[in-house]
Structure 1
Amino acid sequence: MTTATASSGAQPDTARQTDSYVITVANQKGGVGKTMLTLSLAAHTVAAHGRALVVDVDPQANSYDLTRVMDDPGYEVLHELDPVQLTQIRQLRDFDTILVDCPGSLEGHDVLAEVLARSTYVIIPYDHEPESIMPTVRTVERVKASGVPYAVVVTKADPRLGAEYIMDAWQTLHSAGIRHFRSAIRLYRAWPNSLKAGVPITRWNERYAPRLREDIASLHTELLLDLGRRELGGQR
């Protein structure tokens, strides 16, 4: 691997053959909340007594760097610029979930295709801004063409705008024929504040931190339900 340094607050008991879920978080538009989703879902998996690995394939290495300075994140992290290595990681390490944080821009190189070939599911964050619509549509088209299951999640929703904002985002996605989660991730200062303090959001004590945790938990539950239905249908 290119930068195979791991950081973890919980060391694995033993390594065994496994077939972990590989959940890719991607959008060709930067700034839509990919790193927030990746790290929050990893922390939530650990809080639910699961084992998670974050694979950061972004040259900027935000997920990797933020995790490295955390106080006992509970999950492991790799900065891996060769997505092909995901095959080896998925087969040899004992993780329940591997979360892949993709670059904000995928133009000029085929990172997404390599990642999709090794993915179980794709979460596409969408912040419902005018400049995010077309990149999200293009990302969805590429994911659909790959045959990997996906859903878009509305992120960075301003809680002061109420449910109407989220409903409008869902209507925009529905009109474009884009599948989406019924969960949404609201925008609270608890997220950047927890990062600044080096504490996973699952352990951060701030007024609105529980609400952000509720959003992440809701998304995580929806994801697991969809994965379970697909397994029952033989679509994994």
Structure 2
Amino acid sequence: MNATAQSGALRTAARAARSYLVPIINGKGGVGKTMLTLGLAAHTAKANGRALVWDTDPQGTAHQVTNVLADPGYEVRLDTDPDHIEEIRNLQDIDTVFADCPGSLEADKILARIVKNATFVLIPYDHEFESVLPTIRTAKRVAEMGVPYAAVVTKADPQVGAQHVIEAWETLQAENIPHFRSFVRKYRAWPNSLKAGIPITRYNERYAPKLREDLAAVHTELLLNIGRAGARR
């Protein structure tokens, strides 16, 4: 089943059940949380799904960025109140809620609440030296909560080739952190699309199609992992 068909099936199921909740978290800033959140939401919309970006970060970056995009295809909500989790998950006609989260599990009580109620957690990891320990701490905290999760390598340098990604996977495997086989490469098409006010799914810069391929692969792997994890949480 391709990504479009999977999203269609997901949308049909959502009519009778609450939305999937997918928090994107890491205790380290700058690893690509917002990029992954908005990219997956935009791809969901492109694949005929209905997505909501729930911006739980008081800085409101995901909310601000979405509001300058021309017809992003998904909805966005800025809300840091953890008491609204069930209300948000039960919104009609929303298949997946992607939650862009603050930088520390310990810094905000909403993070713990969101993770405990999550369907699946994504931990973006850019394989920079200063990101290793925060990523390990984040993964261990999520694992303690008993929620299915995986790391996703982000900002992979295409000029380095596969070696950057392989080394990232080896680092995660050494810490017993599950990870996706898909990853997101670092292209200027992402910030350039935001400057142009055009969602990456419709942006026509040279490397934009490669970034769309990456996001599509992550989206498909996410759906497969949610399916393996069982019914909606």
- Is the TM-score greater than 0.5? yes
* Partner residue in 2 for 1:162: 161
Q: Report percent identity of matched pairs.
A: 60
- Specify whether residues 100 and 229 from structure 1 end up closer, same or farther in structure 2 by C-alpha distance, changes over 3 A only: same
Note the C-alpha offset of 1:94. Answer: 2.1
For 2:18, the aligned partner's letter is D
Q: Provide the TM-score with structure 2 as the length reference.
A: 0.91
Deviation (angstroms), 1:194: 0.4
Matches within 5 A, 1:27-176: 27-176=26-175
Question: In the aligned structure 2, how far is the partner of 1:97 from the partner of 1:18?
Answer: 11
CA distance in 2, matches of 1:101, 1:44: 16
Contact kept, 8 Å, 1:84 with 1:115, in 2: the verdict is no
Q: CA RMSD in A?
A: 1.5
In 2, distance between residues paired with 1:51 and 1:225?
A: 18
Structure 2: any 5+ residue segments left out of the alignment?
A: 1-13
Q: Is the 8 A contact 1:21 1:98 kept in 2?
A: yes
Runs of 4+ in 1 over 4 A off after TM superposition: none
Shift of 1:227: 1.1
Farther off after superposition, 111-120 or 69-78: 111-120
Matched residue, 1:11 = none
1:185 and 2:209 correspond: no
Shift of 1:117: 2.3
- The answer to whether the 8 Å contact 2:69/2:198 transfers is yes
Q: Secondary structure at the match of 1:202?
A: coil
How big is the shift at 1:17?
6.0
Partners of 2:105 and 2:112 within 8 A in 1: no
- Give the deviation of 1:116 after TM superposition: 1.0
Which whole-Å CA distance do the structure 2 matches of 1:160 and 1:122 have between them? 29
TM-score w.r.t. length of structure 1: 0.90
Shift of 1:93: 2.6
